[in-house]
Amino acid sequence: MEASYIAAELIEHRRVARDTAILAYRLLEEPQRQPLPGQFYMFHVPGVEAVPLSVYNYSQRTIWFLVKERGETTRIIVEEAPRRIGLLGPLGKPLPPPPRGGRALLLAGGVGVAPLAFYARHHPSTLLLGVRSREYYFDTGIGCVLVASDDGSIGVRGTVIEAIDSYRIEPASYSLIIAAGPTPMLCAAYAEMKRRGVLGKTILVLEEETICGLGFCGSCLIPGTSLRLCREGPGVEARLLSSWFQARCKAC
Ligand SMILES: Cc1cc2nc3c(=O)[nH]c(=O)nc-3n(C[C@H](O)[C@H](O)[C@H](O)COP(=O)(O)OP(=O)(O)OC[C@H]3O[C@@H](n4cnc5c(N)ncnc54)[C@H](O)[C@@H]3O)c2cc1C
């Protein structure tokens, strides 16, 4: 695999929700491979550090990212939109298409919608998006989106997992279920899909600290497994994640 950063230049910066922006960067060289849904880049802010960011969209050498401020690096990206950056990727395993020409149920929490919106642009899907409140919501431009908010200010009231019942969605009728979002939401998704007996066709898109992105530093080893998020993930079959669930979800 080619493991060098490619320079990219900012061509679009749009604030879309509270603490959240969409940024488009044009690669200054022809990439060896185009990103597929579920893959990510190490996004290097010169003089600061590199952070992993999922592909929100891609077209003709331009990559769109959906970024939420969490700490200093994401604050710089969202607020200052660096003009020139370095991108390493595409990294990670692409998410599989729904089998047998079926349909995927996508469960997104907050900016977890980034990889799932890219997925929904490629594969037949129903996207259930959960946000804290209306000020965190924005239109992804994808059809078939059902919305839930913790305070009921947009869509149905409740978490994205509770909204499965509110919208009378039957996960068993989908050929694939993919959840992406913060760890507490992934824990709830794991427990709920287990309860419904559909863990075997569920994938969780995990977020663990990822430093090198190339599989050698060990920072992103998924607890209880020998899987590295940056190589064997970030989308991992839920049936392989019982030890991850024990380690990460006790406090959730
Ligand atoms: C494969 C992958 C894809 C990602 N895609 C996106 C994306 O498309 N859009 C986006 O906004 N973010 C995404 N993230 C998360 C993003 O990388 C982190 O928000 C970022 O690294 C935080 O860096 P920081 O320096 O701003 O904050 P830091 O100071 O490093 O972190 C601030 C706080 O945020 C939390 N945090 C930081 N990193 C993570 C993490 N990896 N998982 C869970 N909590 C974390 C911790 O509580 C931490 O204390 C992704 C992460 C991974 C691993």
Same domain assignment for residues 62 and 163: no
What is the spatial distance between Cα 147 and Cα 88, in angstroms, rounded to a whole number? 33
Q: Render pLDDT for 191-221 as a digit per residue (tens, 0 to 9).
A: 999 999 999 999 999 988 899 999 899 898 9
3-state secondary structure of 38: coil
Q: What global pTM score does this model have?
A: 0.94
pLDDT band with cut points at 50, 70 and 90 for residue 92: very high
What is the spatial distance between Cα 207 and Cα 235, in angstroms, rounded to a whole number? 9
Domain containing residue 152: 99-249
Same domain assignment for residues 153 and 86: no
Q: Render pLDDT for 135-149 as a digit per residue (tens, 0 to 9).
A: 999 999 888 789 999
Does residue 159 line the site of ligand 1, with CB under 6 A?
no
CA of 165 to the centre of ligand 1 (A): 30
We report the CATH number of the domain holding residue 204 as 3.40.50.80
Same domain assignment for residues 193 and 135: yes
Same domain assignment for residues 73 and 142: no
Same domain assignment for residues 131 and 175: yes
| Mutation pick for ligand 1 pocket among 74, 136, 231 (CB with most ligand atoms within 8 Å) | 74
Percent of the chain with pLDDT over 70: 98
Domain tally, the chain: 2
* Closest CA to ligand 1's atom 39: 209
Same domain assignment for residues 61 and 180: no
Same domain assignment for residues 122 and 216: yes
Compute the average pLDDT of residues 235-245: 95
pLDDT band with cut points at 50, 70 and 90 for residue 3: confident
Same domain assignment for residues 82 and 113: no
Whether 22 has a pLDDT exceeding 70, the answer reads: yes
Residue 1 lies in a domain: no
Same domain assignment for residues 81 and 111: no
Domain limit, last residue, from 91, 124, 157: 91
Residue 26 lies in a domain: yes
Does residue 119 line the site of ligand 1, with CB under 6 A?
no
* Closest CA to ligand 1's atom 13: 53
Whether 58 has a pLDDT exceeding 60, the answer reads: yes
